[in-house]
RNA sequence: GCGCCCUUAGCUCAGUUGGAUAGAGCGUCUGGCUACGAACCAGAAGGUCGGGAGUUCGAAUCUCUCAGGGCGCGCCA
């Protein structure tokens, strides 16, 4: 509703300015006054107009206020401060439509959106950095779906790269396991943990001799080649670890629709098709001399040289095809992204790979798949949730699309960039890491998969559940073991997801168990608790919060809304209603700025206002019946909106806490 | 060397397209459970928004510069 009124006000002001002043402002800035007593919206536009119209801002603002006339949903506009125009909404009308759950229609962008996230190398257990990626991506998917978009979720699997090759080397050459033994190990419940340690041991083993390092090249080559014993073993391992990743992420309510794999990009020759396009499109060109002799290179993204591509300086060249004819990572990524936009002219084979407990199927790429499958790819917009370190590679793909003339697609290609999760020095020390004097002064220490140094995702989730379980056990003796487990699980997921979402993307998270395991203050459980309290009020009152006030059956008249919201004592409660009206506005902002943290901040703030309200007003003992109904309507609306925002973050609410 | 990001309270972070008196959480201190559950609430203390210059009616926000920190820049992925 807030978003709806915001738009109406902006449109009205824009029309008025065009008609009366002949000015066309591209964007009407609308913000909120510092205090709600001053109104719900503030327009500083008179300051901007002062120069153009050569008149003092106060005078312009005065004229606009006097001349603009009534706007539906608004009580009045007024002049404030040095020239602000503040708008007051009709509180009673807004509250009544919120209580009745009247949703203004929203315009849905046509076309499908593809979100790629997680993309974890299938060679070891997922860690907390992967959780940040997956939670950001999954939350963004939910935000898009809330806004009415159709979204496909993909998780790209690099099953033919060096990281998988490394664990294969570990199994075959370091531990000298047979195929049967490896197969046995992949059936272990936590094979990903086994690989985590093995990967660290292999990395160390490489350092012991160059002979060892040669094994890596051999294995990698065999995997890329395909159709051999080594490739089969690599596939067995990567599929087993991938399955573990899906299970881990499912614990945090994260699901995927499709898992495109690099092995199919190679075997279905996606690159050949892309290579032809890039050559004829003049994006790639062959180097005949210099450092990159024999390679196919493209212009490096951001290269400021204006030289013709054929005579680019070496530092502005990005090698796509090596002199030995093999294609690098960026080349494969270009082919993959041409496929995403339906520009490649080839498709994957598809087969069902995984079935979530809720019945949702997850598909995987294959060379010859099942005849009946959903249609993936050919989308109009993509978001790639990939950490900030890969910005240059992402830009290279975008530049390649542009070079081929696909500007519209390039414009709808968003690198959803975020910073890494590191560890506080204290946390690193707890994990047994030897800190140098320099390390101790740092605010954070980077994790290293190669060294086996980091916090595994499942370990963190286990700790969160154990910690939540302790609290639940202490409070709810009467509940069954199963019920307590379920509640603890919801709290753990709420704490985890909120923790990963409260930081804005460019902020490095310095991870510490103490912060992550906290259930108090600015946390997911704080918000969940507010909903539980709201639910309890209705339960004790013998009413259903879901249907209270819905479908025109509002027990509060519009006059009563006016009576309770308009006087001075009503302002404090009005602030809560206003915050509750903002869900769609916040979702829109989060999507436009690709920043889920706004949704998290909003959920917390709304819960905070609610808890304050909860303390000030005792609802069930309220003697005035009309006022009691009004307070109940307030609780019902805030509860509903909290649940909706939490749902966008993938956080559910337990029945009790 | 080039490019991107960061620097706001003791600590961890918000501050949405430049706007009215810079905000949270944690921590510290004080107070509040015979109320709809205290995983909560109230109050106090705590700030040269890294330094400097500029643009503007107005700068934590934009530009330049200096300092400090991080990340990237491979015929790796």
Task: List all residues 6 or more positions away from A182 whose beta carbon is below 8 Å from its beta carbon.
Answer: A171, A233, A236, A237
A348 in the same domain as A317: no
Residue A620 Cα to chain centre, angstroms: 39
Nearest to A141 by CA among A630, A587, A617, A611: A587
A252 in the same domain as A149: yes
Residue A518: predicted pLDDT: 95
The answer to whether A482 CB sits below 7 Å from nucleic acid chain B is no
The answer to whether A36 CB sits below 7 Å from nucleic acid chain B is no
Which residue, A57, A89, A121, sits at the end of a domain? A89
Pairing of strands A296-299, A285-286: antiparallel
A641 in the same domain as A536: yes
Task: Average the pLDDT over A386-401 and give the result.
Answer: 95
Q: Tell me the nt nearest to A47, Cα to C1'.
A: B57
Residue A141: predicted pLDDT: 98
Could you report the per-residue pLDDT of A230-283, keeping only the tens digit for each?
A: 999 999 999 999 999 999 999 999 999 999 999 999 999 999 999 999 999 999
What are the two backbone dihedrals, phi and then psi, of residue A88, each rounded to the nearest 5 degrees?
-110, 130
DSSP string, A30-73: -B--SSGGG-SEEE-HHHHHHHHHTS-HHHHHHHHHHHS---TT
How many structural domains compose chain A?
4
Question: Model confidence at A443, in pLDDT bands (50, 70, 90)?
Answer: confident
Question: Model confidence at A652, in pLDDT bands (50, 70, 90)?
Answer: very high
**B5 C1' to A416 CA distance, Å:** 14
Length of chain A: 657
Q: What SS3 state is found at A436?
A: coil
A238 in the same domain as A155: yes
Whether A93 contacts A73, CB under 8 Å:
yes
Residues A438, A440, A445, A450: is their CA dihedral positive or negative?
A: positive
Residue A298: in which H helix or E strand, if any?
strand A296-299
Residue A309: predicted pLDDT: 54
> Among all chains, which residue has been given the structure tokens 């996230």?
A117
A255 in the same domain as A300: no
Q: Tell me the nt nearest to A81, Cα to C1'.
A: B20
For chain A, what percent of residues have pLDDT higher than 90?
A: 83
Q: Strand B within 7 Å of which CB atoms in A 220-279?
A: 262
| Alpha helix positions (H), A381-456 | 391-403, 407-411, 425-430, 437-441
The answer to whether A42 CB sits below 7 Å from nucleic acid chain B is yes
DSSP state of A259: E
Quick check: is A450 in a domain?
no
Q: Tell me the nt nearest to A420, Cα to C1'.
A: B71
Could you report the per-residue pLDDT of A1-46, keeping only the tens digit for each?
A: 899 999 999 999 999 999 988 888 778 899 999 989 999 999 999 9
β-sheet with A84-89: strand ranges across:
A41-43, A84-89, A74-80
Quick check: is A542 in a domain?
yes
Question: Model confidence at A628, in pLDDT bands (50, 70, 90)?
Answer: very high
Residues forming a β-bridge with A362: A354
Nearest to A86 by CA among A37, A30, A43: A43
Residue A307: predicted pLDDT: 54
Burial A213-236 (b: 16+ CB within 10 A, else e): eebbeebbebbbebeeebbebbbb
Instruction: Please provide the average confidence, as pLDDT, over all residues in chain A.
Output: 93
Could you report the per-residue pLDDT of A170-180, keeping only the tens digit for each?
A: 999 999 999 99
Q: Side-chain half-sphere of A388: how many Cα atoms within 13 Å? A: 9
Could you report the per-residue pLDDT of A301-312, keeping only the tens digit for each?
A: 766 555 555 567
**A68-71: which pairs have CB atoms within 8 A and are 24 or more residues apart?**
A68/A12, A68/A13, A68/A16, A71/A8, A71/A9, A71/A12
Nearest to A324 by CA among A298, A296, A299, A300: A296
Residues A209, A213, A215, A218: is their CA dihedral positive or negative?
A: negative
- Could you tell me the CATH number of the domain that includes residue A22? 3.30.1360.70
Could you report the per-residue pLDDT of A323-370, keeping only the tens digit for each?
A: 999 999 999 999 999 999 999 999 999 999 999 999 999 999 999 999
A391 in the same domain as A321: no
The answer to whether A77 CB sits below 7 Å from nucleic acid chain B is no
β-sheet with A381-387: strand ranges across:
A349-355, A361-366, A258-259, A150-154, A112-116, A381-387, A413-418
**B17 C1' to A585 CA distance, Å:** 15
The answer to whether A113 CB sits below 7 Å from nucleic acid chain B is no
Could you report the per-residue pLDDT of A430-439, keeping only the tens digit for each?
A: 888 888 888 8
Burial A75-113 (b: 16+ CB within 10 A, else e): bebebbeebbbbbbbbbbbbbbbbbbeeeeeeeeeeebb
Residues A367, A372, A374, A377: is their CA dihedral positive or negative?
A: positive
A413 in the same domain as A370: yes
Q: Strand B within 7 Å of which CB atoms in A 426-465?
A: 442-443, 446
A275 in the same domain as A305: yes
Domain of residue A70 covers 2-89
The answer to whether A478 CB sits below 7 Å from nucleic acid chain B is no
**Axis crossing angle, helix A571-580 with helix A558-566, rounded to the nearest 10:** 120
| Alpha helix positions (H), A85-190 | 91-99, 128-146, 162-169, 179-186
Task: Count other Cβ atoms within 10 Å, centred on residue A18.
Answer: 12
Quick check: is A360 in a domain?
yes
Q: Tell me the nt nearest to A535, Cα to C1'.
A: B36
**Widest distance between CA atoms in chain A:** 90
Q: Which residue has the higher pLDDT, A464 or A290?
A: A464
A40 in the same domain as A162: no
| Alpha helix positions (H), A431-570 | 437-441, 457-475, 481-502, 513-516, 524-541, 558-566
Task: Count other Cβ atoms within 10 Å, centred on residue A431.
Answer: 12
A335 in the same domain as A320: no
- Residue A647 pLDDT > 60, yes or no? yes
A285 in the same domain as A257: no
Quick check: is A489 in a domain?
no
Q: Is the ipTM of this complex over 0.85?
A: yes
Cα distance between residue A3 and residue A584, in whole Å: 6
**B11 C1' to A246 CA distance, Å:** 36
Q: Tell me the nt nearest to A534, Cα to C1'.
A: B36
Q: Tell me the nt nearest to A585, Cα to C1'.
A: B16
Task: Average the pLDDT over A422-427 and give the result.
Answer: 92
The answer to whether A632 CB sits below 7 Å from nucleic acid chain B is no
Residue A311: predicted pLDDT: 67
Which residue, A89, A123, A155, sits at the end of a domain? A89
Quick check: is A100 in a domain?
no
Among the residue ranges A13-22, A414-423, A519-528, the one predicted with the least confidence is A13-22
Whether A547 contacts A639, CB under 8 Å:
no
Residue A305: predicted pLDDT: 54
Residue A123: predicted pLDDT: 97
The tokens for A655 are 């029945």
Question: Model confidence at A106, in pLDDT bands (50, 70, 90)?
Answer: confident
Could you report the per-residue pLDDT of A540-594, keeping only the tens digit for each?
A: 999 999 988 776 677 899 999 999 999 877 889 999 999 999 999 999 999 999 9
Residue A321 Cα to chain centre, angstroms: 33
**A61-64: which pairs have CB atoms within 8 A and are 24 or more residues apart?**
A61/A85, A64/A13, A64/A16, A64/A17
**B32 C1' to A585 CA distance, Å:** 36
Could you report the per-residue pLDDT of A466-515, keeping only the tens digit for each?
A: 999 999 999 999 999 999 999 999 999 999 999 999 999 999 999 999 99
Quick check: is A447 in a domain?
no
A179 in the same domain as A162: yes
Quick check: is A198 in a domain?
yes
Task: Average the pLDDT over A415-419 and give the result.
Answer: 96
> Among all chains, which residue has been given the structure tokens 């309220």?
A622
Which residue, A34, A55, A89, sits at the end of a domain? A89
- Residue A135 pLDDT > 70, yes or no? yes
Q: Strand B within 7 Å of which CB atoms in A 497-516?
A: 502-504, 506-510, 515
Strand B nucleotides below 7 A of a protein CB? Answer: 3-6, 11-21, 24-27, 32, 35-42, 57-58, 70-77
Quick check: is A470 in a domain?
no
């Amino acid at each position: 509703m807030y978003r709806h009124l915001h738009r109406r006000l902006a449109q009205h002001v824009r029309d008025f300015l065009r008609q009366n002043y002949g000015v066309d402002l591209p964007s009407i800035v609308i913000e909120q006054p510092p205090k709600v007593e001053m109104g719900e919206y503030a327009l500083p536009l008179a300051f901007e107009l002062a120069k153009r119209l050569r008149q003092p801002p106060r005078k312009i603002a005065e004229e606009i206020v006097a001349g603009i006339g009534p706007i539906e949903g608004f009580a009045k506009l007024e002049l404030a401060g040095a020239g602000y125009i503040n708008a007051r909404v009709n509180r009673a009308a807004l509250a009544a439509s919120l209580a009745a759950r009247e949703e203004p229609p929203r315009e849905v962008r046509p076309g499908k959106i593809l979100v790629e996230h997680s993309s974890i190398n299938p060679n070891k257990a997922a860690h907390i950095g992967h959780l940040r990626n997956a939670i950001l991506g999954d939350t963004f998917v939910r935000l898009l779906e809330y806004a009415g978009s159709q979204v496909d979720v993909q998780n790209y699997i690099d099953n033919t790269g060096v990281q998988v090759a490394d664990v294969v080397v570990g199994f075959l050459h370091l531990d000298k396991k047979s195929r049967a033994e490896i197969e046995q190990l992949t059936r272990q419940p936590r094979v990903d943990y086994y690989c985590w340690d093995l990967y660290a041991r292999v990395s160390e083993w490489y350092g012991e001799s160059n002979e060892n390092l040669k094994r890596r090249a051999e294995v990698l080559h065999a995997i890329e080649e395909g159709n051999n014993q080594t490739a089969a073993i690599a596939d067995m391992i990567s599929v087993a670890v991938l399955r573990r990743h899906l299970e881990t992420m499912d614990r945090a309510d994260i699901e995927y629709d499709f898992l495109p794999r690099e092995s199919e990009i190679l075997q279905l020759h996606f690159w050949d098709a892309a290579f032809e396009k890039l050559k004829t499109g003049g994006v790639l060109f062959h180097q005949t001399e210099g450092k990159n002799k024999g390679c196919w290179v493209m212009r490096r993204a951001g290269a400021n040289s204006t030289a013709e591509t054929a005579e680019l300086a070496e530092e502005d060249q990005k090698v796509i095809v090596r002199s030995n004819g093999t294609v690098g990572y960026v080349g494969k990524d270009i082919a993959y992204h041409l496929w995403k936009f339906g520009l490649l002219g080839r498709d994957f084979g598809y087969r069902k790979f995984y079935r979530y407990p809720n019945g949702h199927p997850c598909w995987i790429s294959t060379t010859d798949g099942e005849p009946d499958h959903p249609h993936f790819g050919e989308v109009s917009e993509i978001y790639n949730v990939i950490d900030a370190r890969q910005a240059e590679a992402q830009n290279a793909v975008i530049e390649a699309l542009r070079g081929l003339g696909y500007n519209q697609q390039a414009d709808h290609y968003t690198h959803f960039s975020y910073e890494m999760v590191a560890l506080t020095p204290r946390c690193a020390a707890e994990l047994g890491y030897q800190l140098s004097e320099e390390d101790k002064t740092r605010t954070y220490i980077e994790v290293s998969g190669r060294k086996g140094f980091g916090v595994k995702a499942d370990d963190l989730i286990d700790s969160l559940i154990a910690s939540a379980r302790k609290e639940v056990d202490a409070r709810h003796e009467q509940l069954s073991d199963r019920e307590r487990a379920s509640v603890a699980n919801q709290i753990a997921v709420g704490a985890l997801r909120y923790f990963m979402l409260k930081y804005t993307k460019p902020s490095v998270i310095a991870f510490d168990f103490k912060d992550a395991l906290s259930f108090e203050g600015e946390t997911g459980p704080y918000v969940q608790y507010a909903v539980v309290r709201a639910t309890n009020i209705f339960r004790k009152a013998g009413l259903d919060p879901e249907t209270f006030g819905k479908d025109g059956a509002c027990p509060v008249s519009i006059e009563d809304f006016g009576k309770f919201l308009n006087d001075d004592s009503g302002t404090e409660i009005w602030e809560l209603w206003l915050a509750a009206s903002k869900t769609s506005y916040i979702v829109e902002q989060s999507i436009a700025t690709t920043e889920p943290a706004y949704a998290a901040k909003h959920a917390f703030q709304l819960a905070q206002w609610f808890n304050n309200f909860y303390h000030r007003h005792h609802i069930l003992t309220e003697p005035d019946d009309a006022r009691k109904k009004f307070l109940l309507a307030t609780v019902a609306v805030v509860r509903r909106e909290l649940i909706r925002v939490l749902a966008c973050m993938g956080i559910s609410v337990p029945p009790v806490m």
